[in-house]
Amino acid sequence: MKRAAFAALLLATTSAAHADTLIDNVRGQTIGANGQVETFTGLLFDNAGVVKRVIHAGDKKPKPRKEYQYHLDGQGRVMLPGMIDAHVHVMDIGFAALSLDLSDTTSLADALNRIAKFSAEHPDRPWIIGRGWNQELWKLGRFPTAAELDAVTGARPVWLQRVDGHAGWANSAALKAAGVTAATKDPAGGSIDRAPDGSPQGVLVDAAMELVDAKVPTPRPEDRDLALANAQQILFKRGVTAVADMGTGIEDWQAYRRAGDANKLYVRIMAYARGIDQMILIGGPGPSPWLYQDRLRLNGVKLYLDGALGSRGAWLKAPYADAPTTRGLPQLNQTQLGNLMSRAAMDNFQVAIHAIGDQANATVIGAITDLAETYKGDRRWRIEHAQIVDPKDFARFAASGAIASMQPVHQTSDRLMAEARLGPDRLAGAYAWKSLKAAGVRLAFGSDAPVELPDPWAGLSAAISRQGPDDQQPGGWQPQERVSPAEALAAYTADAAYAGFAETRFGRLAPGLRADFVLVDTDPLTANPAQVRATKVLETWIGGGKVWSAETGMETGTTSKR
């Protein structure tokens, strides 16, 4: 008895000494339990990657070999909680890195050159797949055409998604593979760009994209595994340690599980299934448990109510300023929307609904308000994008309890397009972060990667400045919608975790939470927007393990211990 007690004591002290890590001499900033910024100087975490203590200036210092075994000098660097991107498409980030990127093309001619080059470099690929084009940036004044693609690509199918993922540009071979002809009718929720004679011109919008998507060869599981590995590297390089994955399919989920089973899943993924069927297939009778030490959970379902602003798929209350014959269109009617939300909520799945236009947002707010009477408790309904909200709906939005999952960089990318689509009178409710926050709505920030780069520093910079990398526009676009640096940080960390039911697991640096953090060269709470944008990530840690550093890049190995 005595011997056993002694052994237990010995074990407790020696194992603690052998397990814990102290990183001190940091300029730490985290959101605290009270939602306010808390500064700290050091972090002590155990071998399981859980924070034991946050050390503040003036605290008694932990003792080496007694309270910790490993000691790292933070060298005065800035330590922040790992960034959480509340809206990404994980696999698409990886696939985009493996496909043709047209996002920085400046003209149609530039794009065609790049397509020709990529095509020549990849003679083995049965299809050329790419994304990122934006006819607005090209100042083309129209959609590009299949004929223009044919001239540089020949008989191999080519399929290129627009930057917002809401339109696709096909060459003639891809149109042929999809069977799209003058006789093809516009599907519900989509349209085919046509010549005056009705023949398809090459671009397919929203639901019409499925005609070609269905013919694109499915990626092999090996491709998915490679895409996931790529996506993780891309995220860690930018300091992102957790994401909400919007539109997870069973193949994606299986790739996440393969990585988890092989101890190669490092990033934390809060998954939202691609529709109800996939939700049931992945989650079964309810959300999955947190798997792999809080690295994977199916939280719920992603639904779409409307399309995007660029392709005029967003559903507005009044007609588009630059296309007065349309106000966009819903992809679901009121009954369908309610039924799908209800089906998810009845089994305690969280519901995240894509809504861009002000009519879409108003409709979702109404649906949530109605459903909240039946599905009580802590539901955390999410509206994804919430881009254009009628100011008359701000208070209803807040009263509904919905979380606004918004992407600051969309504002800076979309600025001119939004002005064209909406005209001057509807901008007060566009990307209205501060107004929503002031009304009492909780914000979760993200990137919508790969639509934009999964770069939280660009997001933080846009959030506090309403200016993009071009410093446009001077003084900020609709600058009254800026949020404070602390509000922006909260939306990228603690509140993004809350938005995924993860606030007791990660998102802040506090005892009992996972030791997910970054070391960076800039303090986002005091630096100017340009400096914040230029933040260099020095190290990214997840669950007490270093997964990336600026010096060595990706840290290989497995998560087996952590």
Q: Which residues bind its own copies (CB under 8 A)?
A: 3-4, 7, 10-11, 14, 220-222, 224-225, 250-251, 254-255, 257-258, 261-262, 280-285, 288-289, 291
Q: What's the CA gap between 513 and 258, in Å, rounded? A: 25
Nearer to its own copies, 18 or 61 (CB): 18
Q: Is the dihedral of CA 246, 164, 330, 498 positive or negative?
A: positive
Nearer to its own copies, 3 or 139 (CB): 3
- CB of residue 11 vs its own copies: minimum separation in angstroms? 6
Strands laid side by side in the 42-45 sheet? 51-55, 42-45, 21-24, 70-73
Contacts 24+ apart (CB under 8 A), 379-383: 379/345, 379/350, 379/351, 380/350, 380/498, 380/499, 380/501, 381/350, 381/351, 381/352, 381/353, 382/350, 382/351, 382/352, 382/353, 382/444, 382/499, 383/352, 383/353, 383/355
- CB of residue 490 vs its own copies: minimum separation in angstroms? 32
Phi, psi torsion values for 427, nearest 5 degrees = -80, -15
Q: Are 360 and 331 in contact (CB under 8 A)?
A: no
Nearer to its own copies, 25 or 69 (CB): 69
Q: Are 216 and 61 in contact (CB under 8 A)?
A: no
Nearer to its own copies, 206 or 225 (CB): 225
Nearer to its own copies, 94 or 283 (CB): 283
> Torsion over CA of 464, 470, 473 and 474, rounded to 10 degrees?
80
Q: Are 193 and 205 in contact (CB under 8 A)?
A: yes
Nearer to its own copies, 423 or 557 (CB): 557
- CB of residue 264 vs its own copies: minimum separation in angstroms? 12
DSSP helix/strand/coil, 446 = coil
- CB of residue 202 vs its own copies: minimum separation in angstroms? 32
- CB of residue 20 vs its own copies: minimum separation in angstroms? 16
Nearer to its own copies, 224 or 421 (CB): 224
Q: Are 370 and 363 in contact (CB under 8 A)?
A: no
**Which residues neighbour 178 within 8 Å (Cβ) at sequence distance 6 or greater?**
170, 211, 212, 214, 215
Cβ–Cβ contacts within 10 Å for residue 338, how many? Answer: 16
Nearer to its own copies, 9 or 416 (CB): 9
- CB of residue 254 vs its own copies: minimum separation in angstroms? 6
Nearer to its own copies, 104 or 261 (CB): 261
Determine the length of the chain.
Answer: 562
Nearer to its own copies, 176 or 343 (CB): 343
Phi, psi torsion values for 203, nearest 5 degrees = -100, 135
- CB of residue 17 vs its own copies: minimum separation in angstroms? 10
Q: What's the CA gap between 409 and 164, in Å, rounded? A: 12
- CB of residue 371 vs its own copies: minimum separation in angstroms? 21
- CB of residue 49 vs its own copies: minimum separation in angstroms? 20
Please list the residues that pair with 85 across neighbouring strands: 243
- CB of residue 557 vs its own copies: minimum separation in angstroms? 17
- CB of residue 141 vs its own copies: minimum separation in angstroms? 44
Nearer to its own copies, 101 or 251 (CB): 251
Closest CA to 249 of 215, 265, 273: 273
Query: Per the omega criterion (within 30 degrees of 0), is the bond before 278 cis?
Result: no
- CB of residue 443 vs its own copies: minimum separation in angstroms? 32
Nearer to its own copies, 38 or 67 (CB): 67
- CB of residue 218 vs its own copies: minimum separation in angstroms? 9
DSSP helix/strand/coil, 513 = coil
Closest CA to 206 of 94, 357, 14, 325: 357
- CB of residue 92 vs its own copies: minimum separation in angstroms? 18
Contacts 24+ apart (CB under 8 A), 32-41: 32/508, 32/510, 33/508, 33/510, 35/490, 35/494, 36/486, 37/486, 37/489, 37/525, 40/79, 40/509
Q: Is 284 exposed, middle or buried (0-12, 13-18, 19+ CB in 10 A)?
A: exposed
Contacts 24+ apart (CB under 8 A), 534-538: 534/457, 535/239, 535/457, 535/460, 537/237, 537/238, 537/239, 538/77
Nearer to its own copies, 14 or 326 (CB): 14
Place of tokens 């005091």: 526
Q: What's the CA gap between 247 and 450, in Å, rounded? A: 13
Nearer to its own copies, 221 or 391 (CB): 221
